[in-house]
Amino acid sequence: MSQTTEHQAPPASSTVERRQGEQPAVAARKLNLLVVDDNQEVGESLAMLLEVLGHHVVVVRNWQMAVEQVKLCVPDAVYLDIEMPGVSGIEIGRRLHNNPDTAHAVLIAVTGHSLPMYMDDALAAGFRHFLVKPVRLDDLATTVESVLAG
């Protein structure tokens, strides 16, 4: 079961409206999203769901590729796997949050662990959302709504 935790209060009105049991509607504005996950299948699955919501998504598998990608196109939001070899998603997020060029990008932690320490570390590093794998489409829609709301 996935969950989303917002660091800010959810917006009063949302761009993606849906009734219970319906699929999320496609957003009016197309976002540039970056998915960073060392597991290619997980990253591509997440990207497919975000594309269903109507957004442009790039998937990379490590921090070096993430650094190169943000030089090409600064994303509106970054979905970061927390546990990756080398540099953790928390550290990548911290670096993005502290970089003036990427500080506005919304950071979204994606992990297989729902332990409070992971959530606390992510929020302290500037992450706005915390998703637990497997991620549900409704939870992704909530994160996209938040990014669109500003």
Distances (CA, A) of 123 to 16, 44, 52: 24, 25, 27
Tally of domains in the chain: 1
Residue 105 within a domain: yes
- DSSP states of 92-148 as a string? HHHHHHHSTTTTTSEEEEEES---HHHHHHHHHTT-SEEEESSPPHHHHHHHHHHHH
Strand partners, 81: 110
Q: What is the CATH number of the domain that holds 143?
A: 3.40.50.2300
Identify the band that residue 57 occupies on the pLDDT scale cut at 50, 70 and 90.
very high
Check pLDDT > 90 for residue 74.
yes
Residue 141 within a domain: yes
Residue 96 within a domain: yes
At residue 17, the pLDDT reads: 40
At residue 117, the pLDDT reads: 84
Determine the average pLDDT of the residues in 16-29. 53
Domain that holds residue 66: 32-149
Residues 6 or more apart whose Cβ sits within 8 Å of residue 92 = 36, 63, 66, 78, 80, 84
Residue 9 within a domain: no
Whether omega before 11 lies within 30 degrees of 0, making that bond cis, reads: no
What token pair was written down for 79? Answer: 């979905």
At residue 114, the pLDDT reads: 79
Query: Which amino acid is located at 117 in the chain?
Result: M
Strand ordering across the sheet containing 56-60: 56-60, 32-36, 77-81, 106-111, 129-132
